[in-house]
Amino acid sequence: MAAKTFDWRLVHFDTTLRVGPAPHNQELFDWFVENLPIQTFTGQTVVGGFSFFHLSVPLKIPAPWKSDKDLVQEDISEMPVGRLNFFLTAGLTAGMALKWGFFNEPMAYPTWAQVVEDDIPALEEVGKKAWDNMMTRKDVMLVEMTA
């Protein structure tokens, strides 16, 4: 049986958020959880709005679909804060973003997970800290995701 949530932890600020499935693309959530644990670096999207952006997320299991068009997609400017979107890449890597604030870029991406409601204030707080880090100190930021 698949996990109901997984932990997303921003190591630099010792902040852990619980993440559950979105109301669609359950197969993507289940597949992602099978790939855990994962460590990856994160930054900010900068252009278009506020989100953590994870590039080259290492995966163990190939994706069970061939195209993002096979999945339900949401407009990033309209999806709720705390939603995760996904970018399928070549090989056993992916890109993903975790929205933590306002977004004005009207583009659709597959979405598959959502930070639990009780953790949204912590997400917004750590998002602001990470944004400040990116604009001033530029410390490397590691994310750990575990089931």
pLDDT for 2 equals 62
Q: Is residue 19 part of a domain?
A: yes
Name the residue type at position 70: D
Q: Is residue 31 part of a domain?
A: yes
CATH code of the domain containing 140: 2.40.100.20
User: How far apart (Å, rounded) are the C-alpha atoms in residues 80 and 101?
Assistant: 9
Domain that holds residue 109: 6-61+70-146
pLDDT for 133 equals 85
pLDDT for 136 equals 87
pLDDT for 146 equals 98
Name the residue type at position 133: N
Q: Is residue 112 part of a domain?
A: yes
Residue pair 59/51 in contact by the 8 Å Cβ criterion: no
Q: Could you tell me the maximum CA-CA distance found in the chain, to the nearest angstrom? A: 44
Name the residue type at position 139: D
Number of domains in the chain: 1
pLDDT for 67 equals 79
pLDDT for 142 equals 92
Q: Is residue 1 part of a domain?
A: no
Q: Is residue 114 part of a domain?
A: yes
pLDDT for 134 equals 84
Q: In the structure, how many helices (H) and strands (E) does the chain have?
A: 2, 9
Residue pair 41/55 in contact by the 8 Å Cβ criterion: yes
- Each residue's pLDDT tens digit in the chain (147 positions)? 567 999 999 999 999 999 999 999 999 999 999 999 999 999 888 778 899 999 889 999 998 887 788 899 999 999 999 999 988 777 899 999 999 999 998 999 999 999 999 999 999 999 999 988 888 888 889 999 999
pLDDT for 30 equals 96
pLDDT for 96 equals 94
